[in-house]
Amino acid sequence: MSKVYKMKFAAVYPLYMQKVERKGRTQAELNEVIKWLTGYDEQEIQALLASDVDFEQFFAEAPQMNPNAVRITGAICGVRVEEIADPLMQKIRWLDKLVDELAKGRAMEKILRE
């Protein structure tokens, strides 16, 4: 099992925040991306940040993975997200890719595959 699966969501979230804020994006935009992918609402995201939930549990308990997530393509750490065979790792990398796109200034409607 990958070490990434046991990483705490609350430990990684501030890193996502730093990445997007450096590029002038907001916490609200980051949370919108998380909500789009997983179905967690604002209150649920805040509760997760106050909890000990790891990525495995975060995705296992996600209210509703977005069916358009399969449209997320591109490379993260040199690996194409659409080619990742492990479903949990693919979900983690989908989130990484969305955060990357947010940090790169991509328009929200393009990030959210609308």
Q: What is the pLDDT of residue 77?
A: 84
- Residue 8's DSSP bridge partners are 54
What pLDDT is attached to residue 11? 96
Asked whether the whole model's pTM tops 0.85, one would answer yes
Whole-number mean pLDDT of the chain? 95
pLDDT of residue 42 exceeding 80:
yes
**Per the structure block, which two tokens stand in for 113?**
């595959």
Q: State which CATH number among 1.10.287.130, 3.40.718.10, 1.10.3720.10, 1.10.8.290 fits the domain covering 3-106.
A: 1.10.8.290
pLDDT of residue 40: 98
- The Cα 44–Cα 90 span in angstroms is 22
pLDDT tens digits for 77-96?
888 999 999 999 999 999 99
52-85 residue pLDDT tens: 999 999 999 999 999 999 999 999 888 899 999 9
**Domain range summary for the chain, segments of one domain joined by +:** 3-106
Cβ–Cβ contacts within 10 Å for residue 85, how many? 6
Distance CA 73, CA 81 (A): 6
